[in-house]
A and B are shown apart, each in its own frame.
Chain A
């Protein structure tokens, strides 16, 4: 195969670098076990543009902008920038919103679930078990013929640039301190690596993830459904690298209690990730992958990302999001509603292939 990162060693090297960068970002100032967290970071951006008013989680995370543009630039260079869309956009929007809500009940996207475990946070085991369960349920729908319909090539290239442009503009407003972008002065939103380092880290990870097709959800899904361990080797390399780096950098602290930006309500750690995992399978990618696909011009993934942004707004405005103190007042209800929504999508979108 011409693409080195599609090979066995390619995905392993991508996992090692992505993991190494994640651990290093934590060392340079990102919140603990949050070198990358697609859910938390998109949530911070939602706060920065006022979609929610949780003062401690507002920041324009340059990592997200970097991943988006890293994927965009490399896909243009490699001729893989192909604007397309039209595969059940509205369903994807709500899958994105509910995936975000589930992740904020657990307090992390799948990337962060593995980062938390690699930092010694044993609560992540419940999250990862939930993720695997959600993904497994999703694969049952896939086997029955679930699909959201075909995406079609878009007319011209413009559609593919709109969502990157939107995030790029937010980033410029923030970088040049222009307008009314809101940035936390305390809390996790105020903890971050230097801006340009975060941006550079994002660009590299966007490049690696686009080339290698790195996907945390896909790692488990492919094992369940086609007994293929290709993506999983990348995820394993990512996890081991972060674990080793954390031990070297003194970022490892094992236990259930007092873990950073985490709670130990096992059932809800589990169910929050069941919701997210199921939503990711139905939408065809983990949140990192959705951002990369958005960079490739996939507007369906773009709509999923916008759903995440709006879902984060809802999560904080309506008390759905957890905090280290425990669940939000309505987190349980939102999780159940989300799971029911995903199951309905699963059942209603089963079609026989011709």
Chain B
């Protein structure tokens, strides 16, 4: 499981980090996201790669688990 912490990053870095990680290898991902924009953009990116995420919400941020 690879962890990607996108919290506090400006656009488009969250998406760039996620797509890079998807292309690098096929390990599962744990993505930490703290903004509505980043969250939608990441979901859209996952869709492009035909991936889905389990989303869980903690107080300040969301965690996306992408199993592959």
Contacts and interface: CB of A to CB of B under 8 A. Distances in A.
Contacts, number: 59
A225 B16 contact: yes
B17 A353 contact: yes
B19 interface: yes
Contacts of B37: 213
Contacts of B44: 6, 228, 230
Interface residues of B, number: 22
Nearest to A153: B60
Contacts of B35: 80, 82
Interface stretch (A142-150, A263-271, A333-341): A142-150
B16 A142 contact: yes
A6 B10 contact: no
Interface in B18-41: 19, 34-37, 40-41
B34 A226 contact: no
Interface in A259-307: 283-285, 300
B12 A213 contact: no
Interface string A215-233: 1001001100110101000
Interface string B42-66: 0111001000000000001000000
A346 to B, nearest CB: 14
A142 B13 contact: yes
B22 to A, nearest CB: 12
Contact of B34 (A3, A82, A215, A228): A82
A151 interface: yes
B36 A226 contact: no
Given A82-B34, A82-B35, A1 B12 contact: no
A152 B8 contact: yes
A1 B40 contact: yes
A285 B13 CA distance: 12
A84 interface: yes
